[in-house]
Amino acid sequence: MGVRSDVERAVTAEAPADAEAWVGPFVWDWRSFARCARAFVATTLVVFVVGVTIGALAPWLPSRVLGVLAAINLWPTAYLSHLVPIFFFILLSNIKSALIAALLGPAGAWANSRANVGRRPHGSSRRGPASVVDRVTLALAGVVLRGGRCVFPELGDESHDLAARSSAALAAVVPFLTLAMNGIVLGLWMAEALLKGWVGGLASMGRLLLPHAPVELPALVLASAIGLRLARRLVPRRPAHDAAWQCVEVKRLITLDPVAQSLALIVGLLAIAAALELYALV
C-alpha cells in the first residue's frame, strides 16, 4: 500500500459525507452529470420560452439583439475565406463559452476571496458599514448570496465567513447565468424564425442546430457540471473555512486531474461539433 500525499489526506479529511459534495472524476460520475443535465435542460427551456415570448411581443427586438451579437462574435468570419480558419474560429468561440461556464465562477470566487483575506465583515456592527464602498459591497454580496442559495441552500448559514459564502455563491451563479444567456439567445432566434411562419421557422432552427447541437450541448452541460461541482466544494462548512482557506482551495481544485481530463473531453466534443457545424454551413 503506497503512502498517500498530503493533498490526498487533505481531500479525505475535508470531504463531506454526502456524495454531491465530493469532487471526483467528473467524466464518470454519471449520476451527478444527470442532475446537472436536468438543471441545464430546465433552466435553458424556461429562459428559451421567455426569449420566444419577448420576441413575439416585440418583433423588432430579436433582429436588433442578434445583429449586435453577430457583430461582436462573428465579424472575423467576414475576413476568413478558407475552411480551416473558419473551423478554428467556431471551435474557439465554443471553447470560450465552455470555459466561462466551467472556470469563470471559481475564478471570480478566488478574486473575491483574495480581496477579502484578513478583512472583517463591516455589516456586523450596530452602526452598519462605514463607507459607501462597504455598503455597495455588502449589497452586492447579498444579491449574489440570494441567487447562490437557490443552488446551494447551505450558503444561507450566517455563522460562516461572509466573504467565503458570497464567493461560493458567485461560483454557483455563474454557470446558470451562462445557461440563461444561451437560452435567451436561442429563444430570440426562434422568435425571429417563427415570424416567417411555423413550418419555415422550425425548419430554419432545425438546419441551424442539427447535427452539431447533440454534440455541443452535452459538452456545455459537462462544463456547467464542472463549474457547479467546484462551487459546491467552495461552500464553507467549518469556522476555519474563511476567505484565506477559499483562495487556497480554489487553486487546488482547478488543478485536479479530473478537471483537466474533463476539460480535454469538452474540447474534443466541441471540435467534433465545430466540424459538424462547418459541414452544415458549406
Q: Identify the residue with better confidence: 199 or 162.
A: 162
Indicate if the pLDDT at residue 24 is higher than 70: no
Q: What is the mean pLDDT of residues 97-119?
A: 90
Q: Identify the residue with better confidence: 111 or 33.
A: 111
Check: CB of residue 164 under 8 Å from CB of residue 242.
yes
Kindly indicate the confidence band of residue 199, based on its pLDDT and cuts at 50, 70 and 90: confident
Check: CB of residue 227 under 8 Å from CB of residue 32.
no
Amino acid 80: pLDDT: 61
Indicate if the pLDDT at residue 73 is higher than 80: no
Q: Give me 199's grid cell.
A: 413550418
Dihedral sign (CA 271, 273, 275, 277): negative
Single out the residue of 234, 238, 233 nearest to residue 160, CA to CA. 238
Specify which of 43-47, 169-173, 193-197, 211-215 reaches the highest per-range mean pLDDT: 169-173
Indicate if the pLDDT at residue 129 is higher than 70: no
Give 131-149 pLDDT, tens digit per residue.
787 788 888 889 999 999 9
Kindly indicate the confidence band of residue 106, based on its pLDDT and cuts at 50, 70 and 90: very high
What CA–CA distance (Å, rounded) separates 189 from 131?
Answer: 45
Indicate if the pLDDT at residue 179 is higher than 70: yes
Q: Give me 112's grid cell.
A: 473575491
Long-range contacts at 139-148 (CB < 8 A, ≥ 24 apart): 141/166, 144/169, 144/170, 144/173, 145/169, 147/172, 147/173, 147/176, 148/172, 148/173
- Residue percentage of the chain with pLDDT more than 70: 78
- How many alpha carbons lie under 13 Å from residue 251 in its C-beta half-sphere? 8
Kindly indicate the confidence band of residue 4, based on its pLDDT and cuts at 50, 70 and 90: very low
Q: Give me 142's grid cell.
A: 447579498
Kindly indicate the confidence band of residue 16, based on its pLDDT and cuts at 50, 70 and 90: very low
Kindly indicate the confidence band of residue 111, based on its pLDDT and cuts at 50, 70 and 90: very high
Amino acid 27: pLDDT: 46
